[in-house]
Structure 1
């Protein structure tokens, strides 16, 4: 304790962080947070990010890896403002990040001082679950405890606590630890009726959303799919996996386009969505949400998502107890299972990319499918190549795929770093390597994260696909009838040199020949730390919009 035997706000907060496992602190320090670092505990780890959105995204990756909330320390108003793109991603993707933001001293606030935050509770809203600046210094520890409980109660998400700089040395009592059990489930009657419909229907389908991976119930969902012989789809723009993509019941990815989504589900008389916002659209188009004859049930822990869903019956529940109950209630079906989708390497699957000539994303992804360790975590933020990745690189391991479900770029690269740091902290087994497939446009939003990866030896491989522009935007413009979208050509950046200047080993290639060796070196770099492979790709840009092509007429 500081100041003799008198416990302070700082003491109480350090104690709370220990009890909740938030001893790795992600931050970018500023003057209004400096007092927090006095008497810094030896067992605490400070992870420096060079920009605030990078800080929050790294904290999010760490939270996804550990399953616990992560602590991010930000500067006052401007720092929180810099971080808002990542805060938005964390909110939409339900990642528990506890953000503590600095604030000027209380006695100066009436004078509108330098670096103060006006209405700090309002600045991050509506993209946090909870935000406060306590009225008294002694209330800070209890407020942080409440923030942690809110962040980790389903649906999980970011929270923000603003702390004036002179609060840390004030007297405060420690906060006793307590827990919230959020494993709630639907009533027995609701689940019994759903089980009856699953038994009676002719052609069921499951729509798997990010909630399945978040609640770690992939095995239970596989059992439910096999019991019901249901086709399995991923929800549109899903930020997580949740079902092995090489399973014969897996059918693919629903498009974020009205009408097209309805067409994909039109052959099913019952659709059960699990932790999935089914109707998350990206492109406006004519067409219904669902065709007549398709009955929808929706299981999720979010009352907000249940409220806006335009169709079906929503059942509020944690997925784990609900899916386990359904597996106990539903007898194995005898109906014919849907035909499996073509897999890479099969005669009906995608043709192998050329092994010579200019490098392509397809060639890199073919090679990555062969060489990616089965337990690796794949992080993707390459919008131009998302369809090629899903077609050529099935994700099979639980927790094996992370991306942005929002389109707020800059998430993937630092998310991969935070996830890799969590992997390096795991006990007892070999380090689980993280592989980040990132586009050139996306990388420039958060390239500073390479510095942190290099300084801490994070076990992450960055595969940077460089098509010298925002090809996805060009193609969406073409879909809308815009012949040329200005501001979409971004070339001339030497990413390998940039990575090396930040301390990250890097290599470059623009040819398919030799790509296999370059990939092998990036996946197993000397020392086991980070590595970047910059691949200049020559791709058909139609791949960028293949996930939702233009409708005829």
Structure 2
């Protein structure tokens, strides 16, 4: 009997198994059908109705699981539709392998329909690398390289365009060498560097920590909290943080920094040594000119992202793995004889049934009712400061936000996060303006019965833009108002259990019911 020679497709699926990837997020076209033909029984295909939803869902899954996710899009059109979502994936360092089907290799010379012209250029600069194999034999190597590159420091999406007639081609015998290969990253900071930091911290009158998303992705939240105690330092979250790197209930938690030069500097004006771990220095948003650092203050920036280190406008930079760095620095610092001061600000809460339905009281109700290990996503951007001050996010992987500010992230990302963390409840706060960007994700939520809860904060417009209009002294501008949309009816059309609420009492009842549901739920809150 003649031994059956494995095909390119066989090899790629085995490579995915070796990397513990068993889920494909996609929206297929004709160029992708050869890859999906006879889809393996040990894989799951997650269908989304829009490519932005595909990447957003894969983004949430990758961040929450800590594993690379695999995306399959359709040629140039599908890639183009996903570009907005890729901006968030790039900025959040989400390890995603994005594949797209290219026209048949035997046909591309004639410029046929659905040819992805200059395919490797299309997704740039939103991916770490972009490649189209030069031959069918190169496809497995390209996929393996893409996975390793996606998870390497600093993680991020990688793009591979694959001609559809490559999948059935036989592979070389020595492919076993590739299938047995492993790539391991090891990072250790030089002891003299750690000693220098120890001395600078000891000499500082008032050190402060500023923490970014790499801390959370490395799972160092609790260790960084102990580091803050040992340093007697408040811990701020870097501005516009896409993840929560520090327990918000901890005595050292100071809050989230504003995203303006002058306002950020004002928050840290009393500190003479600023240690930034795992975040950019700094990612500003609104125009707020002022000093970048307090007079005479020193800053040290620790990151795994060489690009972020290179573009920082101030401070010393150390490019290294976050976890080994925090472990080394914590071990090098002397133990404290007494408790460090309390830097966390208290808040006054009111969750009485008759209380006003405000954003503050709504978050307080969520804090009171939701499970302690809930995971939150936020795309009601005008509520960011309120959320950070009122919700407890104590463990790693408790919060996700659009890293590049691209709307349409939270709804699909919540589904990916819930799939990755079935033992934790996912709750997404989404503004009425943001809901429109990825509304079709509700179909996917129902099809796969993903029990995420969506809380739509409806103020009939883009509240964040109204705030910017005031900041920019723009008296009038079109496009800020959105009225006449009933998200409950839309969600019910997709099959999602949905409800309007107009009081704090009805919100609490709806949230309690949603927490008991086995499928997705949507609560629309009129503010």
Range into which the TM-score falls when normalised by the shorter chain: over 0.9
Structural mapping, 1:453-532, within 5 Å: 453-525=445-517, 528-532=518-522
Q: 2:217 aligns with which of 214, 218, 221?
A: 214
Match of 1:450 in 2: 442
> How big is the shift at 1:46?
0.2
Partner secondary structure for residue 5 of structure 1: coil
Match of 1:184 in 2: 187
Structural mapping, 1:61-140, within 5 Å: 61-140=60-139
Structural mapping, 1:50-61, within 5 Å: 50-61=49-60
Q: Could you tell me whether the CA contact under 8 Å between 1:474 and 1:485 is conserved in 2?
A: no
> How big is the shift at 1:334?
5.9
Partner secondary structure for residue 299 of structure 1: strand
Match of 1:540 in 2: none
> How big is the shift at 1:351?
5.2
* Gap change, CA 1:520 and 1:256, over 3 Å in 2: same
Q: 2:428 aligns with which of 427, 432, 436?
A: 436
Looking at structure 1, the residues matched to 351 and 267 of structure 2 have their Cα atoms a distance apart, in angstroms, of 27
* Gap change, CA 1:334 and 1:286, over 3 Å in 2: farther
Partner secondary structure for residue 421 of structure 2: helix
Looking at structure 2, the residues matched to 178 and 502 of structure 1 have their Cα atoms a distance apart, in angstroms, of 44
Which moved further from structure 2: 489-498 or 353-362? 353-362
RMSD: 1.6
Q: 2:239 aligns with which of 229, 236, 239?
A: 236
Structural mapping, 1:103-502, within 5 Å: 103-173=102-172, 174=175, 175-333=178-336, 337-343=340-346, 349-350=347-348, 352=350, 355-356=353-354, 359-424=357-422, 431-502=423-494
Q: Deviations over 1:310-361 (max 9, x none)?
A: 1111011101111111111110246984442323xxxxx2453785476332
Match of 1:427 in 2: none
> How big is the shift at 1:517?
0.9
Partner secondary structure for residue 385 of structure 1: helix
Partner secondary structure for residue 259 of structure 1: helix
Q: Could you tell me whether the CA contact under 8 Å between 1:207 and 1:278 is conserved in 2?
A: no
Q: Deviations over 1:421-468 (max 9, x none)?
A: 1123xxxxxx21111111111111001111111111112111111111
Q: Gaps (5+ residues) in structure 2?
A: none
Match of 1:8 in 2: 7
Partner secondary structure for residue 71 of structure 1: strand
TM-score normalised according to structure 2 size: 0.96
TM-score normalised according to structure 1 size: 0.92
Partner secondary structure for residue 310 of structure 1: coil
> How big is the shift at 1:484?
2.2
Q: Could you tell me whether the CA contact under 8 Å between 2:225 and 2:252 is conserved in 1?
A: no
Partner secondary structure for residue 444 of structure 1: helix
Q: Could you tell me whether the CA contact under 8 Å between 2:349 and 2:364 is conserved in 1?
A: no
Looking at structure 1, the residues matched to 351 and 64 of structure 2 have their Cα atoms a distance apart, in angstroms, of 33
Partner secondary structure for residue 307 of structure 1: helix
* Gap change, CA 1:265 and 1:350, over 3 Å in 2: same
* Gap change, CA 1:338 and 1:283, over 3 Å in 2: farther
Q: Deviations over 1:126-156 (max 9, x none)?
A: 1100110011111000010000000011110
Looking at structure 2, the residues matched to 334 and 261 of structure 1 have their Cα atoms a distance apart, in angstroms, of 32
Q: Could you tell me whether the CA contact under 8 Å between 1:185 and 1:316 is conserved in 2?
A: no
Which moved further from structure 2: 49-58 or 415-424? 415-424
Looking at structure 2, the residues matched to 479 and 38 of structure 1 have their Cα atoms a distance apart, in angstroms, of 54
Partner secondary structure for residue 518 of structure 1: helix
> How big is the shift at 1:171?
1.4
> How big is the shift at 1:278?
2.7
Q: Deviations over 1:381-438 (max 9, x none)?
A: 11122222122223222211111121100011100001111123xxxxxx21111111
> How big is the shift at 1:202?
1.5
* Gap change, CA 1:524 and 1:278, over 3 Å in 2: farther
Q: Gaps (5+ residues) in structure 1?
A: 344-348, 425-430, 538-553
Partner secondary structure for residue 247 of structure 2: coil
Looking at structure 2, the residues matched to 304 and 69 of structure 1 have their Cα atoms a distance apart, in angstroms, of 21
Looking at structure 2, the residues matched to 4 and 409 of structure 1 have their Cα atoms a distance apart, in angstroms, of 52
Looking at structure 2, the residues matched to 357 and 194 of structure 1 have their Cα atoms a distance apart, in angstroms, of 50
Partner secondary structure for residue 26 of structure 1: strand
Q: Could you tell me whether the CA contact under 8 Å between 1:202 and 1:335 is conserved in 2?
A: no
Looking at structure 2, the residues matched to 183 and 361 of structure 1 have their Cα atoms a distance apart, in angstroms, of 45
Partner secondary structure for residue 504 of structure 2: coil
Q: Deviations over 1:250-291 (max 9, x none)?
A: 111111101111111111111110001131110112211102
Which moved further from structure 2: 127-136 or 185-194? 185-194
Q: Could you tell me whether the CA contact under 8 Å between 2:216 and 2:397 is conserved in 1?
A: yes
- The total of aligned residue pairs comes to 522
Looking at structure 2, the residues matched to 177 and 278 of structure 1 have their Cα atoms a distance apart, in angstroms, of 40
Match of 1:550 in 2: none
Q: Deviations over 1:287-312 (max 9, x none)?
A: 11102121101111111100011111
> How big is the shift at 1:364?
1.6
